Structure 1
Amino acid sequence: MEHKPSSTTILHKKVAVNCLMKKPRPKSSTGIRRQTLLQLKQENLANKSPASTPDTRLLDGYTKVKKLGSGGFGTVWHVVEASTNSSFALKQIPKDNAIINTAVASGIVEARVGQKLFPTVDVVGDKLIQYLNPSISQLDDTFITPNQEESVPSESTKFIAQLYRVVETKQDIWLLFEQGGDTLHNSLFEIKGDFYQGSRTYKIIHRPLYIAMRENISILKIFLRQLIASVQTLNQHQLVHADIKPDNILVSHYFENGRLELSTKLIDFGSSFSSLSPRLTSATTPEYVPPDVLELIRTKYNANHIKLYFQEHCCPHSFDMWSVGCVFLEIACGVPIWFSYKSRVDTGSNTPQQPWVTGLMSSTGRKSDKIAQRQVYVAGNLEKCIRKSPGMNIDSKRWKHGIELLQKMLAISPSQRISPQDALAHPFLKRS
């Protein structure tokens, strides 16, 4: 008797044959492209020698000693020049195989400002300038004034870190500066993580320079005079720094014959612009930016609107003098104004425990509209806010006229902010 396969067996065979005959589905072009890019990236990483990484690349004639700091716009190194054994600060900005990027654009702006302030800058290679999009930085209009051939007197730039060389290599742009001290932030505060009743908190420790300023207000006044003098120099040449904050101020201090000597240097001009051709960038630190400018950045006004606003409402010093006022406020209150985390200031074991504090201009998430609201409130209630902070005693005779000067720096209306010339002549800073 002939055996007939069951219907189930026939179905299984058909499935098996179809599976064998079925052609593989081709990958989509997108999938192939993604795989190819990933493979290329992996191959590049595998083939890349350690010498090709930014940290291991060197500028001829200089030896890297240590890294001083790094950020989105490059890395700053302490270097020693082989021929003279002199120390410098060298900013390295990787080009990342791009014709232009934000970091490179910032570096070129900084180089142009350096050339404007220090005409003896040595420039080696400058090809990228021709590719710079005018919308990023109007270099020709921004940094060349009718007196472009006139050298800036060295005395007027003594509180600005000097730029010596600009070198463009295949992979990097290098900016060689004089070596200054530590940042103002690091000189004033140390912030440490802490725990309180099982919750993450922070401890803010006042460093020796802060204590010296608190105990001897003349040291604070010396610092303010030097910082304002640097803004005055910029103002004379229609330049706006646009990112003055404690991390962009270097201070070196030492004791000589029992007296503390202080030297201040303003650094990092990558966000700078001319008051004649203003531009705004989100790279600036919002807590130190005036509320009116924060509003312009938040609403993303176009370049023509920004220029018109500055012409109608601002003076060349309006932006930077607000930022100087924020630095002054930070010293007065004893807490970084941007620090939004719950913290206590450590004033020593022999003093009562300090209350919980946060930075006066801080906002969770660092949203510009919230920061602007805080700025307006603090500017209108300066004495109240500082008295509640673990900083300086503004009721002492030594602080006479101090709050008045701070109020003029932090005027909400940009046209009402005190100029650097008037600030240096103010009773609080005027030399007796």
Structure 2
Amino acid sequence: MMPIHYQRQLSQKSRRTPVSTNSMYLYHLLHYHTFISHFHIDNIVGLDSLLHQRIIIDLVQKESNQSPGITVMKLQKHSSFTLKPNRLPSLKMLKDYGLTEEEKGTYGDRQLLGFDKLELLGRGGFALVWLASKGNQKVALKQIAKPQQSKEAKFSYIKSDNIVQIMGVEHSNKDTWIIQELGGKPLSKVLYTMKGEFYKGERVYAISETQQLLDMYEHPQKLIELMHGILNGISCINDKRVTHFDLKPDNILVENNIPKIIDFGSAFSNEDKDQFGMITPEYMAPEALDIMHNWTKYSNQYNSQIEALTQMHGTPKIDVWSYGAIILDILHGVPNWLSYKGKIMRQGRPQIKYGLFAVKGRDLSKIIQKQQQLQLNSVVRQNCNYLSLVKQNQLLDLLKQCLAYDPAQRSEAKELLKHEFFNQI
């Protein structure tokens, strides 16, 4: 059961929904009195009326000086209450969780029946992700603030040790809830931390490599294993003729150096005929950005953006490009989207860097230009001195196959798993 058990019963057959804010306030007022240490209000019926609220408040005020037993007995006579002994309510509903005011308005303080929200794990464009518990089991609980069909559920049949598994999808009056296994921290947080500071009189983002990333530099085999795991997850997705379409460091969780891909909210199968979902352009392949940027032209020939992609370029290799862009994040030390100055320490000296595909205003045509102008050789040589020259050359070849501007020249994920860079896995 939820930590807060009070609910409004609309009818015998109707769905139960959380009570209104006024009713919640009334409940906590009642909780303040001594009788609640023995009893807890399990159902409140018909408390949306201010008249009902006034009657009950008056009743509690009158009875506050009497014994708990007398108060409970008299309250039981009120048709609005069902009282059950020895079941104290959790007060987690009063917790702030670090939400913005806008998020509080959108997501409220709603809970999925049977789960207890513990803390906020992350947020996306249309969802919050919670660490939650059900009994002794901890899960990730994704809250989408409107009932809708979930693509996560649609593609939950894809199984891999490198994909977070969907355990269930529930729909309530105001939300869709996706129950997922826990998968660790986002890759972006595994790699580095960022904070604003002043450097030489101007505002910059100070980027600090995490101890985990420094450990990978010292033991490159760990980095290679991480890269292989991400690619394996992509291969499992693409082998089912599905494109994830929003691969980025935030959508890869890492625990004990095992990566797991999450968030299929923008995914599609090769047979789908829809428009593209939400993307992060700095990790998106140029052919998809081109269709989005020039859709006015392409819409005269194709009914949807996915149809245009598959008709123009065959089996999509979008995810392979995104994989290459993620590896650039790891090597370059600065996220691809950072269009402001980033200060990172390399070999004991501060370096000012920008994201490799960063453009202020996120103009898609300018991002495409940066993709065309990418100098992979210099990226590898300047940032991979912890690798042997042989491994550097292998990595450079791998990235060239991932980041080929022409998708026809780009390799598939299952082919790249056999690349010599991964020979020692």
TM-score (norm 1): 0.70
- Establish whether residue 263 from structure 1 lines up as the match of residue 258 from structure 2: yes
How far apart, CA to CA, are the structure 2 residues paired with 1:209 and 1:267? 21
User: Which residue is 2:356 aligned to?
Assistant: 360
- Taking the TM superposition and a 5 Å limit, the aligned residue runs for 1:154-165 are 156-165=159-168
Tell me what 1:61 maps to: 114
1:336 maps onto 2:335 in alignment: yes
Give the equivalent residue in structure 1 for 2:178. 175
Aligned sequence identity (%): 31
Q: Among 392, 409, 415, which residue is 1:399 paired with?
A: 392
Contact 1:278–1:307, Cα closer than 8 Å, also in 2: yes
- Residue pair 1:73, 1:93 contacting (<8 A) in 2 also: yes
Work out whether 1:428 is the aligned partner of 2:421. yes
Q: 1:272 & 1:245 partners in 2: Cα distance?
A: 13
TM-score (structure 2 length as normaliser): 0.71
Q: How many residues end up aligned between the 2 structures?
A: 324
Output one character per residue of 1:166-211: Cα deviation in whole Å (capped at 9) or x when no partner: 1101111100000110000001010011102331111110012211
CA contact (8 A) 1:181 1:251 kept: yes
Q: Matched residues in 2 for 1:49 and 1:415: separation?
A: 59
Aligned to 1:143: none
Q: Distance in 2 between matches of 1:222 and 1:65?
A: 32
- Aligned position for 1:80: 133
Matched, 1:209 2:212: yes
Which AA in structure 1 matches 2:349? Q
Distance 1:217 1:313 in 2: 39
Relative distance call for 1:336 and 1:392 in structure 2 (3 A) is: farther
2:315 paired with 1:273:
no
1:92 equivalenced with 2:91 (yes/no): no
| Distance of aligned partners of 1:430 and 1:395 in 2 relative to their CA distance in 1, 3 Å threshold | closer
Secondary structure, counterpart of 1:411 in structure 2: coil
Sort the Cα spacing of 1:228 and 1:49 in 2 relative to 1 into closer, same or farther, 3 A: same
**Distance in 2 separating the partners of 1:47 and 1:429:** 60
Per-residue deviation at 1:212?
Answer: 1.9
- CA pair 352-166 structure 1, distance change in 2 beyond 3 A: closer
Is the partner of 2:179 in helix, strand or coil? strand
Per the TM alignment, residue 430 of structure 1 is displaced from its structure 2 partner at its CA by: 2.7
The alpha-carbon deviation at position 394 of structure 1 amounts to 5.8
Query: Contact 1:334 / 1:392 at 8 angstroms: preserved in 2?
Result: no
2:100 corresponds in structure 1 to: none
Pick the aligned partner of 2:280 from 279, 285, 289: 285
1:34 alignment partner in structure 2: none
| SS at 1:425 equivalent | coil
Distance 1:246 1:307 in 2: 24
Task: Give 3-state SS (helix, strand or coil) of 2:221's partner.
Answer: helix
2:345 corresponds to which residue? 346
Equivalent residues of 1:77, 1:91 under 8 A apart:
yes
Assess, with a 3 A threshold, how the Cα gap between structure 1 residues 402 and 315 changes in structure 2: closer, same or farther: farther
Evaluate the alpha carbon distance shift between residue 324 and residue 360 of structure 1 in structure 2; reply closer, same or farther with a 3 A threshold: same
Counterpart-to-counterpart distance in 2, 1:316 and 1:431: 30
- Residue equivalent to 2:401: 408
> What corresponds to 2:68 in structure 1?
none
The alpha carbon displacement at 1:89 in A equals 0.1
CA distance in 2, matches of 1:280, 1:356: 38
Relative CO higher for 1 or 2, CA cutoff 8 Å, sep ≥ 6? 1
Q: Aligned in 2, Cα 1:372/1:362: closer, same or farther, shift over 3 Å? A: same
Which digits, 9 at most, give the CA deviation of each residue in 1:288-319, with x for residues without a partner?
00111101111224353635543344353510
Displacement of 1:217 in angstroms is: 1.8
Gaps of 5+ in 2: 1-19, 26-92, 94-103
Query: d(CA) in 1 for partners of 2:121 and 2:330?
Result: 23
Distance 2:350 2:150 in 1: 46
Q: 1:306 to 1:177 in 2, by over 3 A?
A: same
- Counterpart of 1:272, as a letter, is A
Instruction: Say if 1:425 and 1:89 are closer, same or farther in 2 by CA, change over 3 A.
Output: same
The residue number in structure 2 matching 1:101 is none
Q: Secondary structure at the match of 2:420?
A: coil
Aligned partner of 1:121 in structure 2 is none
CA distance in 1, matches of 2:23, 2:125: 22
Unaligned runs of 5+ in 1: 1-44, 96-103, 118-155, 254-261
How far does residue 75 in structure 1 lie from its aligned partner after superposition?
0.6
1:108 aligns with 2:158: no
Secondary structure in structure 1 of the residue aligned to 2:419: coil
Q: Which moved more, 1:171-180 or 1:302-311?
A: 302-311
Q: Give the letter aligned to residue 416 of structure 1.
A: Q
- Whole-angstrom CA distance in 2 between matches of 1:383 and 1:308: 34
Tell whether 2:169 aligns with 1:166.
Answer: yes
Q: Does structure 2 conserve the Cα–Cα contact (< 8 Å) formed by 1:239 and 1:316?
A: no
Matches within 5 A, 1:246-257: 246-253=249-256
Measured after TM superposition, the shift of residue 58 of structure 1 is 1.0
Partner Cα separation in structure 1 for residue 313 and residue 217 of structure 2: 33
Worse-superposed segment, 157-166 or 338-347: 338-347
